[in-house]
């Protein structure tokens, strides 16, 4: 067997695309990903305002001009409030969202945050599994918060001792 054939048969480990902080100019790519992944969660005006705003943190995986994932958060005193997290439907279950949570956590710890919070729909099994694996715990519920009737589950986790990553045990 030649080298080229052997290369073809050897399974390649998945190499994640580069993860980087997002800047104001990324608003159009963020809007496009939002439409593909979240059905248009934020408007153009909100994305333009969000990226690059003081107090905001935003990261994404760069697919060469196309954004494959995104996570945003606000630093509120010593808390990280995670506002958006999404992965392109064609790139899910490859660890991108987990890596984004780690990047957000590391940046938030660097800005003095000691805990992180977010809200998730009670019917969003994928996101709930991700947050549980990342050490978040449900600490409250807003009944019928979403337009489809789903409850909003309020999640918290401590960032103390999290180092540069999010990992259980939590709180
Ligand atoms: C939720 C979401 C962001 C997860 O993104 P992702 O990049 O696929 O997640 P990851 O690959 O990093 O998953 C990490 C872990 O989370 C859990 N997880 C993620 N998706 C899951 C699913 N569909 N079912 C069960 N567990 C899941 C698993 O524990 C997974 O680890 P594993 O693949 O080793 O088993 C993605 O499904 C998405 O964009 N959904 C639509 C937008 C959304 O709901 N955002 C959250 C709003 S609160």
Local structure of residue 159 (DSSP, 8 states): -
Instruction: Report the relative pairing of strands 79-87 and 115-121 from DSSP bridges.
Output: parallel
- Non-local CB neighbours of 13 within 8 Å, separated by 6+ positions: none
Q: What is the pLDDT of residues 9-41, one digit of tens each?
A: 666 678 889 999 999 999 999 999 999 999 999
Mean pLDDT computed over every residue of the chain: 91
What percentage of residues in the chain have a pLDDT greater than 70?
87
Residue 7 above 80 pLDDT? no
Expressed in angstroms and rounded, the spacing between residue 157 Cα and the centre of ligand 1 is 18
Per DSSP, the three-state class of 156 is strand
pLDDT category at 164 given cuts 50, 70, 90 is very low
60-74 average pLDDT score: 96
Q: Which atom of ligand 1 is nearest to the CA of 93?
A: 11
Q: How far is CA 3 from CA 9, 14, 15, 157, in A?
A: 10, 21, 21, 49
Ligand 1 neighbours (beta carbon < 6 A): 37-38, 85-87, 92-98, 120, 124-127, 129-130, 133
Q: Which tens digit of pLDDT belongs to each residue from 77-108?
A: 999 999 999 999 999 999 999 999 999 999 99
For the chain, domains (ranges, CATH) are: 17-158 (3.40.630.30)
The pTM score is 0.91
Active site residue 119: yes
**pLDDT band at residue 169 using 50, 70 and 90 as cut-offs:** very low
Torsion of CA 65, 118, 76, 27, to 10 degrees: 20
């Amino acid at each position: 067997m030649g080298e080229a054939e052997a290369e073809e048969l050897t399974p390649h480990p998945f190499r994640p695309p580069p993860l980087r902080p997002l800047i104001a100019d990324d608003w159009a790519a963020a809007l496009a990903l939002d439409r593909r992944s979240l059905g248009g969660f934020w408007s153009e005006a909100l994305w333009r305002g969000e990226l690059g705003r003081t107090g905001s943190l935003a990261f994404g995986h760069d697919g060469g001009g196309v954004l494959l994932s995104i996570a945003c958060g606000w630093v509120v005193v010593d808390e990280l409030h995670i506002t958006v997290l999404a992965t392109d439907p064609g790139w899910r279950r490859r660890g991108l969202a987990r890596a984004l949570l780690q990047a957000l956590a590391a940046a938030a710890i660097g800005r003095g945050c000691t805990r992180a919070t977010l809200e998730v729909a009670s019917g969003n099994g994928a996101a709930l599994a991700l947050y549980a694996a990342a050490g978040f715990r449900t600490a409250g519920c807003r009944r019928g918060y979403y337009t489809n009737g789903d409850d909003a589950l309020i999640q918290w986790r401590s960032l103390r001792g999290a180092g540069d990553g999010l990992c259980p045990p939590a709180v």
